[in-house]
């Protein structure tokens, strides 16, 4: 084999193969707060971020844009608050509109993901870890944990489907 043999891969192919994976950001959107979680650089684990306290639409989108840039986010998954029957209610409609605006403003794909029972699961996890039951102390923690649960579920589904 000649010394300059390169397996038929051009230098430009190598740079594409070495391209860094982009992260997935999860949002648990509420009227007062947005719980946030992001994948690690390899897309394996979900890590909670500080909860975003909502002010107004302009400020909310500016903060989300900063997070997308800071963490090199390639796509967003948002909790979709379906009714227990699986039907979309009023809140799901609001979330769908928010998702459309996020797509337009941030230029990244936004997926809606069933979030039924994530807040209940977040409360259960806090109870099991011995966290205070004081509502004021729990507010941001529940939103952050719910975002982590949404992201874990989304990533697990994606890895089991082979996408």
User: 13 lies in a domain?
Assistant: no
User: 152 lies in a domain?
Assistant: yes
In terms of residue numbers, what domain contains 81? Answer: 21-161
Give the predicted TM-score (pTM) of the model: 0.79
Crossing angle of the two packed helices 90-106 and 57-70, in degrees rounded to 10: 60
User: 106 lies in a domain?
Assistant: yes
Biggest alpha carbon–alpha carbon distance for the chain: 71
User: 65 lies in a domain?
Assistant: yes
User: 7 lies in a domain?
Assistant: no
Mean pLDDT of 40-65: 94
Q: What is the CATH number of the domain that holds 142?
A: 3.30.420.140
At 162 the pLDDT is: 63
- Cα(first)–Cα(last) distance of the chain, in Å? 37
Q: State how many domains the chain has.
A: 1
User: 36 lies in a domain?
Assistant: yes
Quote helix, strand, coil % in the chain, to nearest 5. 45, 20, 30
pLDDT bracket for residue 106 (50, 70, 90): very high
Residue 5, number of CB atoms within 10 A of its CB: 7
At 64 the pLDDT is: 97
Q: What is the pLDDT of residues 77-99, one digit of tens each?
A: 999 988 787 888 888 899 999 99
């Amino acid at each position: 084999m000649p010394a300059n043999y390169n397996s038929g891969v051009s230098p430009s192919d190598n740079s594409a193969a070495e391209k860094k994976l982009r992260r997935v950001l999860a949002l648990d959107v509420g009227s007062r707060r947005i719980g946030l979680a992001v994948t690690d650089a390899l897309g394996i684990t979900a890590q909670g971020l500080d909860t975003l306290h909502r002010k107004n639409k302009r400020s909310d989108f500016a903060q989300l844009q900063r997070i997308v840039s800071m963490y090199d986010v390639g796509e967003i998954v948002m909790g979709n608050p379906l009714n227990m029957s699986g039907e979309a209610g009023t809140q799901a409609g609001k979330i769908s509109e928010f998702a459309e605006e996020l797509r337009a403003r941030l230029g990244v794909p936004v997926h809606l993901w069933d979030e039924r029972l994530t807040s209940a699961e977040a409360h259960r996890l806090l109870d099991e870890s011995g966290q205070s039951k004081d509502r004021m102390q729990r507010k941001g923690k529940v939103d952050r944990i719910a975002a982590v649960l949404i992201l874990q579920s989304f990533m697990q589904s994606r890895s089991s489907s082979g996408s």
